[in-house]
């Protein structure tokens, strides 16, 4: 069978399974909303019961979400939630925690140094590097503009 690129594309598009976009968006919305609701609930609990300031409660809620996402990733639960929710689990802090822990789990058989240590920041490393670099650049720009 001899096909050009356009004929192959039409053939592939005709035989590709259709994605249930509305259902996927609903799952993402519900799970992402649940994660944000959990974060707000933790924030309120830390503020009311622990008598923390809003800033400290927000910090502790963020740390709690990172811990929960890392723990669920380690237990194999977070990937199941992510499969169901799709982009709904990419709420930045939980998605970031998952992106740090997943490569470490996948490479633990290679040892602590060459496996976990070398692979733990495979996905998150560029985010940390360029985030830090962008912060430093904007800090210098801010500093220079405030001199005048």
Q: How far apart are CA 77 and CA 69, in angstroms?
A: 9
Per DSSP, helices labelled H in 75-123 are 78-85, 92-106, 118-119
Using one digit for the tens of pLDDT, what is the confidence trace for 35-69?
999 999 999 999 999 999 999 999 999 999 999 99
Measure the CA angle with vertex 82, ends 15 and 63; round to 5°: 155
Using one digit for the tens of pLDDT, what is the confidence trace for 68-93?
998 998 899 999 999 999 888 887 78
Q: How far apart are CA 83 and CA 76, in angstroms?
A: 12
Burial class (CB in 10 A: 0-12, 13-18, 19+), 69: buried
pLDDT confidence bin for 137, thresholds 50/70/90: very high
pLDDT, average across residues 24-39: 94
**Given this model, what pLDDT does residue 1 score?**
57
Provide the whole-model pTM.
Answer: 0.68
Q: How far apart are CA 66 and CA 19, in angstroms?
A: 31
């Amino acid at each position: 069978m001899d096909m050009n690129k356009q004929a192959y594309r039409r053939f592939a598009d005709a035989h590709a399974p259709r994605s249930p976009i509305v259902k996927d968006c609903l799952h993402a919305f519900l799970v992402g909303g649940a994660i944000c609701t959990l974060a707000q609930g933790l924030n309120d609990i830390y503020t009311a019961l622990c008598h923390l300031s809003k800033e400290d409660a927000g910090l502790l809620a963020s740390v709690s979400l990172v811990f929960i996402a890392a723990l669920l990733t380690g237990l194999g639960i977070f990937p199941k939630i992510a499969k169901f929710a799709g982009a709904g689990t990419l709420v930045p802090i939980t998605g970031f925690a998952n992106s740090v822990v997943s490569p470490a789990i996948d490479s633990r058989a290679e040892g602590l140094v060459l496996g976990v240590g070398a692979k733990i920041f495979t996905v998150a490393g560029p985010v940390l590097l360029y985030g830090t670099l962008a912060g430093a650049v904007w800090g210098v720009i801010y500093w220079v503009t405030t001199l005048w």
